[in-house]
Structure 1
């Protein structure tokens, strides 16, 4: 059974604005406690280079690969699979317009492979905190931009 983290929030801002927050990678350091630095073309097949903060330590470099980019609604990427099914991941951001200028933002992270229980044991609490913080950050940032 995979290690899965799903966070879903409703945001009082239009979907286009929420999408802009998710894909404005150079501004991540202004609002994102989990991934304070990020770069990518967002083109499928291209890398996404991040600095990820785990355990409150200095952010560490992480390179993953874009697997889907549907402008305005979906961005997904994954780590390069470790040989022999050892470890693989999928991360996605989904933005869905609701009524009255509101948006549903869904954050999904899945870690699988025979080594995932070890990684989940060692880093699970940090990953939970990080993805939750990022989801809260998307909401806070989008609502602040809408208000200001």
Structure 2
């Protein structure tokens, strides 16, 4: 059962904006308008900063498996509920321009549902999508998965080792309010998914190598 997410509870202080505005004008009447303008200026600068300079989360892990084996696991959306500890479910077409329905669950939080648009599909190399919360510019998240072959040696057409990179970039007016939780919860979710992907891919890779050796 999908619970209603509490992830955006930090946004509740926005409900106090009317009171803040009222106090600002009271401050003006008391001759403290410059302090109000200073605080307003700091707020505007923070909002501009998070619009122009995105918050980024980067994780990577080395996997003793082929790029194709990792890609097949990463794009087998139907199997996600059985092993993926962060992205619990994905539905939709794996093609550029398509919209996906993605169920995220960072550790210790409820499931959140986003509907990003796929912007890059490079088989065995890269998957990237971009999503928005309500409207563009409020909270935009770009999520990418990159597979980099590391080993120069090849066994029966399979590269033996890859680097798997999972990263995200967040921009928008709400990022300052969510930055701390994003950096903790989402990073932990990335790392949990990376480790489970590594375990499954290496198990498949070892089974494949054993089978190929048996045929020799």
Between the aligned partners of 2:116 and 2:137, the Cα distance in structure 1 is: 17
Secondary structure of residue in 2 paired with 1:94: strand
Instruction: Pick which of 57-66 and 89-98 moved more.
Output: 57-66
Between the aligned partners of 1:104 and 1:3, the Cα distance in structure 2 is: 23
1:142 equivalent among 197, 201, 206: 201
Q: Which residue does 1:131 correspond to in 2?
A: 190
Secondary structure of residue in 2 paired with 1:75: strand
Residues 131 and 142 in structure 2, CA contact (< 8 A), matched pair in contact too: yes
Pair 1:69 & 2:135 matched: no
Q: Where does structure 1 lack aligned partners over 5 or more consecutive residues? A: none
Structure 1 or 2: more strand by fraction: 1
Superposition map of 1:1-148 within 5 A: 1-80=53-132, 83=135, 85-99=137-151, 100=153, 101-148=160-207
How many residue pairs were aligned?
A: 148
Return the offset for 1:82. 5.1
Residues 107 and 189 in structure 2, CA contact (< 8 A), matched pair in contact too: no
Runs of 4+ in structure 1 off by over 6 angstroms are: none
Residues 65 and 201 in structure 2, CA contact (< 8 A), matched pair in contact too: yes
Instruction: Pick which of 102-111 and 83-92 moved more.
Output: 83-92
Between the aligned partners of 2:168 and 2:105, the Cα distance in structure 1 is: 16
Return the offset for 1:6. 0.8
Aligned CA distance change for structure 1 residues 58 and 119 (closer, same or farther; 3 Å): closer
Return the offset for 1:12. 0.3
Structure 1 or 2: more helix by fraction: 2
Residues 65 and 80 in structure 1, CA contact (< 8 A), matched pair in contact too: no
* CA offsets 1:72-91 (integer angstroms, 9 cap, x no match): 11100010365462221110
Secondary structure of residue in 1 paired with 2:85: coil
Instruction: Please give the root-mean-square deviation of Cα atoms over the aligned residues, in Å.
Output: 1.8
Secondary structure of residue in 2 paired with 1:47: coil
The structure with the larger Rg is 2
Larger RCO (alpha carbons 8 Å, 6+ apart): 1
